[in-house]
């Protein structure tokens, strides 16, 4: 799942490439991901539009258009973007292709067909938009504490559902909990003041360091997902980088949670 660090790199790469480019043609190869909220037709309304910028809010990529419409892409679990020449091989399950005035193509592929591409004049019309929490880098410790307080569930759930802070998914929630030395299944209400502060600081450092790493490792190949540098996520059965305890892996609804039982003691149950 592309999360805040992945999407921030995509935004950085695309902003200078597409700003000022006009969409000359739109191919909707697989329409299941398309959500036209204009009532004018997705391809019809997009053709002839000019990109004004590339932005990000939480886990949603935003492409404001000069007409005041916005193309908003929620990649969900497996959506990827590719900016390529027409001769470059398309990724499998490419759903939408935007032909640009400079001759390049902006392509959206999705192996799971779970993502959504919205065309809208009102971002509040996108499901979940108004419930999204603040961006992590503009969030103070006190606000983080306040937003965490009403949450009664597990700390990983609070991080991934986006109402405490926007942009964190399954992988980086594992990394943040590990960096903070907090078991991902601890109840949020059980955390003391020092643990909340560690969680806040880990949120800042983990995401910033991941952005820096991806900027170097991914470069302009934004269709690639690079996760091998993560400390615990996806490393079930391997030794913990801090203490060499074997990293635990628990799967729920097909998504793994990885943690170290030595570095992150406690939780609702023993695994």
Which residues are the active-site residues?
2-3, 59, 255
Biggest CA–CA distance in the chain, Å, is 58
Instruction: Compute the distance between CA of residue 53 and CA of residue 62 in angstroms, rounded to an integer.
Output: 8
Instruction: Compute the distance between CA of residue 222 and CA of residue 7 in angstroms, rounded to an integer.
Output: 9
- Token representation of residue 243: 């203490």
């Amino acid at each position: 799942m592309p999360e805040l660090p992945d999407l921030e790199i995509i935004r950085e790469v695309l902003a200078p490439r597409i700003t000022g480019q006009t969409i000359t043609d739109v191919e909707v190869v697989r329409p299941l991901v398309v959500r036209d909220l204009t009532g004018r037709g997705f391809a019809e309304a997009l053709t002839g539009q000019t990109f004004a910028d590339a932005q990000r809010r939480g886990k949603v990529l935003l492409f404001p258009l000069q007409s005041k419409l916005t193309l908003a892409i929620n990649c969900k679990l497996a959506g990827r973007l590719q900016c390529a020449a027409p001769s470059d091989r398309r990724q499998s399950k490419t759903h939408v292709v935007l032909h640009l005035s400079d001759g390049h193509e902006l392509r959206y592929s999705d192996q799971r067909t779970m993502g959504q591409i919205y065309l809208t004049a009102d971002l509040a019309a996108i499901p979940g938009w108004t419930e999204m929490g603040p961006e992590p880098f503009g969030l103070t410790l006190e606000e983080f504490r306040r937003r965490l307080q009403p949450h009664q569930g597990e700390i990983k759930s609070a991080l991934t559902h986006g109402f405490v802070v926007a942009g964190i998914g399954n992988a980086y929630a594992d990394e943040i909990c590990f960096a903070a030395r907090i078991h991902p299944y601890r109840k949020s209400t059980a955390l003391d003041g020092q643990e909340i502060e560690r969680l806040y600081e880990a949120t800042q450092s983990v995401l910033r360091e991941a952005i820096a790493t991806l900027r170097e490792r991914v470069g302009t190949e934004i269709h690639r997902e690079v996760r091998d540098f993560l400390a615990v996520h996806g490393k079930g059965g391997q030794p913990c980088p801090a203490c060499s305890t074997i990293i635990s892996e628990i799967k729920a609804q097909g998504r793994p949670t990885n943690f170290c039982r030595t570095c992150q003691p406690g939780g609702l149950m023993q695994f």
